[in-house]
Amino acid sequence: MALQGKVETEVEIKIPDDKFYNIWSKQAHHVPTASPNNVEAVHVHEDGSPEVIKEKAFLNDEDKSVTLIGFEGDAMQEYKIWKVVFHANPKGEGSSLVKVSIEYEKIKEEIPTPNNYLNFMVNVIKDIEAHHLKG
C-alpha cells in the first residue's frame, strides 16, 4: 500500500467560477457563515467530532485556484503532506465545475486514504453554493 496519493472529485455548482473563487480569495470569512455545520473558524466539525487544521492559503487569480497547505492540526497527526486544491472552471449558464483534490502522504501505512476529508470538502462546496443562491 502506498503512503503517498491523491484523491479528487468534481462538483457542479450553480455559481459562476469567478464568484466561487472570490469567496475563497476575498471573502473567506464567509465560509463559516455559508457552512456553519462544517466550519467554525479553523475548527472543522465532521460527524459531531470537532477537528482543527491550520492551513496556509495560496491563491492563483489567473486560473481561479486555491491551494491550502496544512501545517498544524488533527490531519497533520496522520499525514506528513496535506495539500488541498480547489479549482473552479466555467461550465456555462452561470454554473461551474469545481475540482477538489487532496494530495497527501501518510505517516503510517495503516492510516486511511482521506476520502472522508474529500467528502467533507464536497459538502462545504455545496453549502457555499446554497448560501450564495439564497442571498
Neighbour count for residue 34 (Cβ, 10 Å): 21
**pLDDT tens sequence across 63-86:** 999 898 988 888 899 999 999 999
**CATH of residue 113:** 3.30.530.20
Q: Residue 113: its pLDDT value, please?
A: 94
Asked whether the predicted pLDDT for residue 9 surpasses 60, the reply is: yes
Q: How far does the chain reach from its first CA to its final CA, in angstroms?
A: 46
DSSP strand E in the chain: where? 4-13, 39-40, 43-46, 49-60, 65-73, 79-92, 95-106
| Contact predicate 74/61, CB 8 Å | no
Residues spanned by the domain of 8 = 4-134
Q: What is the pLDDT of residue 62?
A: 92
* pLDDT tens track for 84-115: 999 999 998 899 999 999 999 999 999 999 99
Mean pLDDT (whole number) for 6-20: 93
Domain count, the chain: 1
